[in-house]
Amino acid sequence: MSAPLRLMAVHAHPDDESSKGAATMARYVREGVEVLVCTLTGGERGSVLNPKMDLPEVVANIGEVRRAEMERARAILGVEQRFMGFVDSGLPENEDEPLPEGCFAVQKLEDASLPLVAAVRDFRPHVIITYDDDGGYPHPDHIMTNRVSVEAFEAAGDPDRYPGTGDPWQPLKLYYQMGFTKERFEALHEAMTSRGLGSPYSDWIARWEDRPAKWPVTTRVPCGDYFDLRDAALLAHATQVDPDGFWFVCPRELQQEIWPTEDYHLARSLVDTELPEDDLFAGIHADDVSPACH
């Protein structure tokens, strides 16, 4: 194609880009695709999840620390990255607990979407990836991330909406990330137990509700060769990821053998494509691609 393909990944907090779709992004970057991560909040209310980093000076400066971690992860993956400027909502301990005043999840949809619409019009992605409408898990910032991503996908191409945020640009495909599926964890669990490794997934699988997937996987992107970069990016988020914890219990070589893809649900498409897919850009042709403006 005469101009590069462009992929935008929309996330709630620093570290989400490394735990959801990182190997996909690393692969596409190295194939010449321009990739931009839009991080909606700074993760200021995140807890320190790695005991080795639970230090007073880290806790006192968690927002600044997480931005530095994001920069390290960005460099490892090779992507561009922008913060959208909202404040982390935190994760309430119960449903009745009010969210902090002014945080991302309590914004009006139009206000929360405006910076992302501007980023879409500037970067001009052909494909956007984000979370499903349950947020992947029910964190209020993740749920709002889905809402603003859908809004931006549908509004950025309309010249009458969000005036003053740049020339209209219509992305062609919108995907939801499906990395945390029962099928994947069952496959890894069976592989680990059959080889006598022990599995961390048994309790999780036992608690899984036995019902059809709300958003079935339509697209599996082969990217096992980039799991090392995914893991390195995860480890860059040292406050959030314990190197001795859950993320690294299953050996990387086993993951590459048993489940060498990252998986997605095609939620919107303005181009013809045949399911299942193995490429987020399936159905996008040279006449669909134009130079970026950013």
- What are the binding residues for Zn(2+)? 13, 16, 142
Annotated binding site: 13, 16, 142
Whole-angstrom distance, CA of residue 125 vs CA of residue 131: 17
CB 166 within 8 A of CB 121: yes
Structure-token pair, residue 80: 């561009």
Which secondary structure element, helix H or strand E, spans residue 10, and what is its range? Answer: strand 6-11
Query: Percent helix, strand, coil in the chain (nearest 5)?
Result: 40, 15, 45
CA 127 to chain centre: 13
Beta bridge partners of 127: 7, 173
DSSP assignment of 32-45? T-EEEEEEEE--TT
Whole-angstrom distance, CA of residue 45 vs CA of residue 62: 8
Region class of 275: left (phi > 0), else alpha (psi between -120 and 50), else beta: beta
